[in-house]
Amino acid sequence: MKALRRTAAALLAAAVLVSSACMGFGSTEGLTPNPIYSYDYSTMELVQLSEPAEGAPLAVIDTTVGTIKAVLYPEYAPNTVSNFVNRAKDGFYNGKDIYCVLDKSIFMTGAADEHRNTGLTEDGQLIANEYSVNLWPFKGAFCSYNGHTGYGDSRFMVLNERALSEDDMNTLRELKNKSEEKLLPDELIDAFAAKGVVIDFTGAYTVFAQTVEGIDVIEKICSVPVSGELSEPVEPIYINNVTITEYHRA
């Protein structure tokens, strides 16, 4: 039970980062250093906003409430994607429950134990976070769960969004880097507002995939009634299977 409480507490801490840290992105005590302050934004390509390349790896997640299709980014998060793909091919995700729906903003799955405290990797070693200036926690993004440890495993989160207020937008535009220069490009901030984002996850987790079909399923899952210390769906939701295939333009 204590372990369950710790897991729930870690998730709830992430949920309130945006208000408690004034969008300090990792400046809160106890969190791993946030990489966004060291990014070279001149090289940024918002790949999640573009149509995927023909033949890009695609995950098809069939759940009991609908199907989500997400393009994978092995070029930016090779170790995280490799573990996800191998676990999918092994059938590890088949029958896994969606065990946490938090704040109508995210849902979690992929745990290896009944208490949802561990996940699975190829060699039993945790996977170091893989950050990229090109990948952000937009609505529909898949993020590896690490509890702010800087390491992940088979557990992952699928993001819905949290609305940004005018004050939030102003705060984002006023953020400074170590040289006291404007930190985030307007292009990125405008994309947050247009596409939707879970802003407090910025630079905190490995983003490794982006939904290209099934946003409505994500919204449905994130709107279900929940109960208990881990915000579990009242009516259980399961992954039937995860298939790895290729993206092809319609």
The strand pairing partners of 233, in sequence order, are 226
The pLDDT tens digits of the residues spanning 56-80 come to: 999 999 999 999 999 999 999 999 9
Mean pLDDT to the nearest integer, 81-107? 96
Mean pLDDT to the nearest integer, 235-250? 96
Mean pLDDT to the nearest integer, 149-156? 92
Which residue's structure tokens are 């979690």? 108
- What are the backbone dihedrals phi and psi of residue 176, each rounded to the nearest 5 degrees, phi first? -120, 150
In angstroms, rounded to a whole number, what is the distance separating the alpha carbons of residues 78 and 74? 4
Q: Please, what is the end-to-end C-alpha distance for the chain in angstroms?
A: 48
Q: Exposed e or buried b for every residue in 44-67, given b needs 16+ CB within 10 A?
A: bebbbeeebeeebbbbbbbbeeee
The strand pairing partners of 59, in sequence order, are 70, 244
The pLDDT tens digits of the residues spanning 122-140 come to: 898 999 999 999 999 999 9
Mean pLDDT to the nearest integer, 141-150? 87
Q: Please give the single-letter amino acid code of residue 164.
A: L
Mean pLDDT to the nearest integer, 182-192? 97
Do the bridges between strand 156-159 and strand 106-109 make them parallel or antiparallel, or are there none, so unpaired? antiparallel
The pLDDT tens digits of the residues spanning 13-57 come to: 444 333 333 344 544 444 567 899 999 999 999 999 999 999 999
| pLDDT for the residue 31 | 53
Class for the domain spanning 2-246: mainly beta
The pLDDT tens digits of the residues spanning 48-60 come to: 999 999 999 999 9
* Global pTM value: 0.88
Beta strands (DSSP E) in 13-154 are 57-63, 66-72, 100-102, 106-109, 127-128, 141-144, 151-152
Percent of the chain with pLDDT over 90: 75
Residue 114: both structure tokens together: 């009944």
